[in-house]
Structure 1
Amino acid sequence: MATCPPYPTHPTGPTGGALRHAHWWQKRWVRYSALVTLLALSGLVILALVREQTGTEGFLVGLGLAVLPVPLLVAAFRWLDRVEPGPWRNLLFSFAWGACAAALIAIVANSFATRWIATATADPSHADTLGATVIAPIVEELAKAAAILLVFLFRRRDFTGIVDGVVIAGVTATGFAFTENILYLGTAFGTDQLTGDRGIASVTAATFFVRVIMSPFAHPLFTVLTGIGFGIAALSGERQHVRRVLLPFLGLLLAMGMHAMWNGSSAFGEYGFFAVYAAFMVPAFGLLTWLVIWTRQRELRTVREELPAYVVAGWLSPSEPFVLGSMRDRRVARQYARHRGGRPAARAVAQYEAYATSLAFLRHRGRRGRAGADFVVREQELLHELWHRREFARPALEHAAAAQAWPRHEHGYGHGYGHPAPLPMPVHWQSYGQVNAPSYGPTYGQTVPYPAYNPYRT
């Protein structure tokens, strides 16, 4: 086993000095501050515009009804991302962009375009139809795609495949639909106040049924097509420039086309909405759901296939690749850690699982010649994170392996009947939440055993 070069210095250490001579606008805190300010201002403006159109009472009613599907949609996309969970800050940015920036762009651009068409054609009804079926899909999908592009460019390590594209796109569209639903539901409530309609026959009830009950996934479904394009581009090699540009653009075109068909369903007659819903939306939703779940299972298989190389090198125990390649076994490990060491221990195991998954994906890209120039540095960073959590995670993972082995005896996988006795709790678990890192293992700047293999060899 070879000896690795020193680990890279901590980001807050000497390498951080590279930014000391950078221009002020290149500093991270400046960019974060500018982004937060932009989103906050967009949120205030969109709040004022929606409240102006709906009134205060309509706004509050629309807000209360529009928020109902949001937790379910976000939880669904988070569940899809459980194999290699992305950071929450990406999801918060995506939702905020969709709810504030993208919604503001859409309202302003759609209103301007509709008024311009009405003035140019002197036919307001034609302007509304053209704006809904042509202008709105282009403007709205472009505005939502901007969030995916920003994450793809500036959070490249967190954007590694189709599932990441689907999750970022879906959460962005969920935020956009949230703001749009406030506007539609608040306006419907105002209409009911003027006409005196109440109950299930009201415009508010009909709008709620169509937008929240029947089609809460409509906007996410459109934008997910763009996210899939970016996700496939993320899997492409760095030299495949044409593919990396054309695939996101193709996904965006498909999103615009489906959005236009959905908005134009009323032109197909009295039952046009239900026809488009049954003939296109439901099958498309089912197909995309199958694709994402299949991709998730493929990611778990990649974990089982790539991590054994680190078992041979001594970084992982023999059972870890199989436990980490099963969502059920991962859950058992986290539950064991929580029961034995509380939330800090469970969080350490969850972080270990995420870092190990990232390591498997990194090696997979390296073997296919798609890894970046920072492959070795990134690999060492991930191994370092695993090393500092192994005393907390390894007993939990071994327990999960033993717990799942006993019922497999009759199939030839186990050794003996009965549930195994719990493994002893590491003493470190009792104080995990009180220290920054365990006192064992390598620290930055030291040399540690490192697996001697060529990651690009098939």
Structure 2
Amino acid sequence: MATFPPYPTHPTGSAGPPGAAGGALRHPHWWQRRWVRYGALITLLALSGLVILALVRQQTGTDGFLVGLGLAVLPVPLLIAAFRWLDRVEPGPWRNIVFAFAWGACAAALIAIVANSFATKWIATSTADPSSADTLGATVIAPIVEESAKAAAVLLVFLFRRRDFTGIVDGVVIAGVTATGFAFTENILYLGTAFGTDQVTGDRGIASVTAATFFVRVIMSPFAHPLFTVLTGIGFGIAALSADRQHVRRGLVPLGGLLLAMSMHAFWNGSSTFGPYGFFAVYGAFMLPAFGLLTWLVIWTRQRELRTVREELPAYVLAGWLGPGEPFALGSMRARRLARDHARHHLGKSAARAVERYEAYATSLAFLRHRGRRGRAGADFVVRERELLSELWNRRQVARPALEYAARATAPVVPTPWPVYGVQGAYGYGYPVGQPHPAYLAYNAYNPYRT
């Protein structure tokens, strides 16, 4: 188990920021520089985007592409907003969100289109029943190729943005946003192709192929691709919570999540072969319950993260790094929002942004200490802890008054006078003799302003 002081050193007794001590600096090679890696990644995504744009436009035509683009973009803001809401406890940087969406919409979509087309043609030419190529491609090849391509984005963030990937919610968000980008490009292709079909047949209105495709893909199941890939994200999230020495678990759990994602994807794609009502049966009996279960899981995980914040940060209050009301305020999304609003009202938008960053750093600190107590912290625990404490200390003058105000404003209301168990109080209820009122216990447990 990792060892660290139970109560971190007070800032007045700290030894200064990490890295200030001696030690030779090693200059990285040119290919290890950040701008080189970012430049290569941006170039790769840009080229993938241009190629996928040309392929989709070639298959749908210009008019079909524009119609598909206009319809496919509709669910994207709602899905992105939903994943950002899940990530509000410890929000990751926007660059990870942009990368995940771009990878799904460009790189993963390009891999899927090329690989699926090649595999379908190969099946059609190498089997005795060419008519089964499309079915095999949709139920076997497509789930493997597409889920693997989307999982690559989660793997890249897990490996290269490790500090931003600390648990299940992070895995869900990165996986879900990647799948949202993938579904966006795929919907452009399907809706654009449907529009081209309607142009040939002359169908219009709700009876058109475009309307039916829009209803199935955008109205009924905009969550389908995110639902599949989120299983992979959960696997990586569990791996992120594991200790570094648990190599088998860190390798097998993400693989298991990927296999579950492929299986669910295959089952969904194969629903059309189950008879005329197979699609609706699978949708009602399988997809909706699975979506509800996973939604409950991530929301429960989000609430558990808030509880972790409330439980871990009091150690830093005792050491003098945080104010007495901050653990309570930082463990409540309502109090956090109130603190930002208070800072914005009195000091402006820059102060609100400072409070928001303070909340994020404090949450990261709580999670870091939680992993440390469970023996899952990395070798850089002390360095990372000091970095986070330094960030908090630099913002304390703006953030602390706002959070203390939010703690007071959101603390449980204290009834007066306090009824005593066994006594018929002013509010007309009695309790067993000798015990205080339950609300009083809750107030004293969480409110630092009690007298």
* TM-score of the pair, normalised by structure 1: 0.88
Equivalents in 1 of 2:29, 2:335: separation in Å?
48
Q: In structure 2, what residue type is equivalent to 1:6?
A: G
Equivalent residue, structure 1, for 2:229: 223
Select 2:369's aligned residue among 346, 363, 366.
Answer: 363
Aligned residues: 412
Equivalent runs, 1:67-146 vs 2, <5 Å: 67-146=73-152
Equivalent residue, structure 1, for 2:274: 268
Equivalent residue, structure 2, for 1:45: 51
CA deviation string 1:308-350 (max 9, x = no partner): 0000101111110011000011111111111111110110100
Equivalents in 1 of 2:84, 2:49: separation in Å?
24
Q: In structure 2, what residue type is equivalent to 1:356?
A: A
Select 1:6's aligned residue among 11, 16, 22.
Answer: 16
Equivalent residue, structure 2, for 1:321: 327
Equivalent residue, structure 2, for 1:453: none
Equivalent residue, structure 1, for 2:419: none
Q: Shift of residue 414 of structure 1?
A: 6.6
Equivalents in 2 of 1:71, 1:92: separation in Å?
13
Equivalent runs, 1:338-357 vs 2, <5 Å: 338-357=344-363
Cα distance change of structure 1 residues 167 and 211 upon mapping to structure 2, 3 Å threshold = same
Q: Shift of residue 25 of structure 1?
A: 1.1
1:82 match: secondary structure: coil
Tell me, yes or no, if structure 1 residue 181 matches structure 2 residue 187.
yes
Equivalents in 2 of 1:155, 1:38: separation in Å?
18
Tell me, yes or no, if structure 1 residue 377 matches structure 2 residue 383.
yes
Select 2:212's aligned residue among 206, 213, 235.
Answer: 206
Cα distance change of structure 1 residues 102 and 15 upon mapping to structure 2, 3 Å threshold = farther
Unaligned segments of structure 1, at least 5 residues: 421-458
Equivalent residue, structure 2, for 1:311: 317
Equivalents in 2 of 1:409, 1:92: separation in Å?
48
Q: In structure 2, what residue type is equivalent to 1:277?
A: Y
Cα distance change of structure 1 residues 323 and 16 upon mapping to structure 2, 3 Å threshold = farther
Q: Shift of residue 5 of structure 1?
A: 2.9
Equivalents in 2 of 1:355, 1:332: separation in Å?
18
Equivalent residue, structure 1, for 2:246: 240
2:353 match: secondary structure: helix
Q: CA RMSD in A?
A: 1.8
Q: Shift of residue 361 of structure 1?
A: 0.3
Q: In structure 2, what residue type is equivalent to 1:131?
A: G
2:348 match: secondary structure: helix
Q: Shift of residue 387 of structure 1?
A: 0.4
Equivalents in 2 of 1:233, 1:16: separation in Å?
34
Equivalents in 2 of 1:301, 1:363: separation in Å?
13
Q: Shift of residue 73 of structure 1?
A: 0.1
Q: Shift of residue 122 of structure 1?
A: 4.7
Q: Shift of residue 403 of structure 1?
A: 1.2
Q: Shift of residue 26 of structure 1?
A: 1.2
Q: Shift of residue 407 of structure 1?
A: 3.1
Equivalent residue, structure 2, for 1:440: none
Equivalents in 2 of 1:358, 1:414: separation in Å?
26
Select 2:200's aligned residue among 188, 194, 202.
Answer: 194
Equivalent residue, structure 2, for 1:302: 308
Tell which deviates more after alignment, 394-403 or 356-365: 394-403
2:99 match: secondary structure: helix
Equivalents in 2 of 1:163, 1:15: separation in Å?
37
CA deviation string 1:171-230 (max 9, x = no partner): 000000000000000000000000000000000000000000000000000000000000
Tell me, yes or no, if structure 1 residue 64 matches structure 2 residue 70.
yes
Q: In structure 2, what residue type is equivalent to 1:299?
A: E
Equivalents in 1 of 2:151, 2:364: separation in Å?
25
Equivalent residue, structure 2, for 1:456: none
Tell me, yes or no, if structure 1 residue 18 matches structure 2 residue 26.
yes
1:18 match: secondary structure: coil
Equivalents in 2 of 1:206, 1:338: separation in Å?
47
Q: In structure 1, what residue type is equivalent to 2:16?
A: P
1:407 match: secondary structure: coil
Q: Shift of residue 242 of structure 1?
A: 0.3
* TM-score of the pair, normalised by structure 2: 0.89
Equivalents in 1 of 2:389, 2:134: separation in Å?
57
Select 1:153's aligned residue among 156, 159, 184.
Answer: 159
Equivalents in 1 of 2:360, 2:41: separation in Å?
27
CA deviation string 1:131-154 (max 9, x = no partner): 000000000000000000000000
Equivalents in 2 of 1:393, 1:143: separation in Å?
42
Equivalents in 2 of 1:384, 1:409: separation in Å?
40
Equivalents in 2 of 1:349, 1:71: separation in Å?
26
Q: In structure 1, what residue type is equivalent to 2:176?
A: G
Cα distance change of structure 1 residues 296 and 15 upon mapping to structure 2, 3 Å threshold = farther
Q: Shift of residue 15 of structure 1?
A: 8.6
Cα distance change of structure 1 residues 364 and 406 upon mapping to structure 2, 3 Å threshold = closer
Cα distance change of structure 1 residues 86 and 398 upon mapping to structure 2, 3 Å threshold = same
Tell me, yes or no, if structure 1 residue 386 matches structure 2 residue 396.
no
Q: In structure 2, what residue type is equivalent to 1:263?
A: N
Equivalents in 2 of 1:144, 1:14: separation in Å?
43
Cα distance change of structure 1 residues 16 and 31 upon mapping to structure 2, 3 Å threshold = farther
Equivalents in 2 of 1:406, 1:350: separation in Å?
23
Q: Shift of residue 18 of structure 1?
A: 2.5
